[in-house]
Amino acid sequence: MKIVRARDYDDMSRKVANIISAQVILKPDCVLGLATGSTPIGAYRQLAGWNQKGDCDFSQVSTYNLDEYRGLSHDDPQSYHYFMKTNFFDHVNIDQANTHVPDGSNPDADAACKEYDRIVAAAGYPDLQLLGIGNNGHIGFNEPDDHFSKGTHCVNLTESTIQANSRLFDRIEDVPRQAYTMGVQTIMFAKMIVIAANGSAKAQAVHDMCYGPVTPQCPASILQLHDNVVVVADEAALALCPAE
Ligand code: GLP
């Protein structure tokens, strides 16, 4: 794992955006795996700025998001479909037909997850997968468990994740209790993984991901076994890691 130290959120965001931009420049028709959450918003904003200046062309790029809440329609403001449109897709010259997010509006979990696995595999898996990390070490919505998941599946969110994500909802009761998420194995199929983290709430998870045992109790720890992972984190998120 390569650890890139950032001063703060803005610095982390620019560094992540630079890496994604390099990928798009090197392979204009690349496949990007994308993430939601507060962490990548700054990088999306930076990429949109460069796109509008003509510096980063998304016209041939296709994207596959990690996850989606189960039971929300695509235009629900809390859905990850809506998040991606409003935070990124609407601001760059991507063909929206080439953007993909698991279909949380399909109540048939099995069918929705199988179909997502089929299209991600048909795309050849991401050239670059962007990840955030949950306070409990989750990636996508792969929560701590006694085994690593494989393909896309329906998960019951943990109380800690429901609590953490409730800041984006009016009431905690409104947070969906289930989600469809790409599996850990699928995430590991990406050719390169960039995982971003900022803030002290992530410090333990970042430490355990980089220096703890590889265990499904910290799903992100599996990234130690991938040969092309870049961790971009600010000082607060790296506070428990040894200084390099
Ligand atoms: C959610 C998402 C994850 C994300 C995590 C951290 O649970 N499913 O993909 O990494 O939250 O979110 P944030 O970046 O807001 O801390």
Q: What is the mean pLDDT of the chain?
A: 97
Q: How far, in Å, is the centroid of ligand 1 from the Cα of 181?
A: 12
Q: What percent of the chain has pLDDT over 70?
A: 100
Tell whether the model's pLDDT for residue 244 goes beyond 80: no
Q: For ligand 1, is residue 35 a contact (CB within 6 Å)?
A: yes
Distance of CA 44 from the midpoint of ligand 1 (Å): 15
Is position 136 annotated as part of the catalytic site? yes
DSSP 8-57: SHHHHHHHHHHHHHHHHHH-TT-EEEE--SSTTHHHHHHHHHHHHTTSS-
**Of 67, 68, 127, 234, which is the active-site residue?**
67
* pLDDT number for residue 60: 98
Domains of the chain by residue range: 2-234
Ligand 1: centre distance to CA 78 (Å): 13
Give the separation between CA 104 and CA 242, rounded to whole angstroms: 40
The CATH class of 2-234 is alpha beta
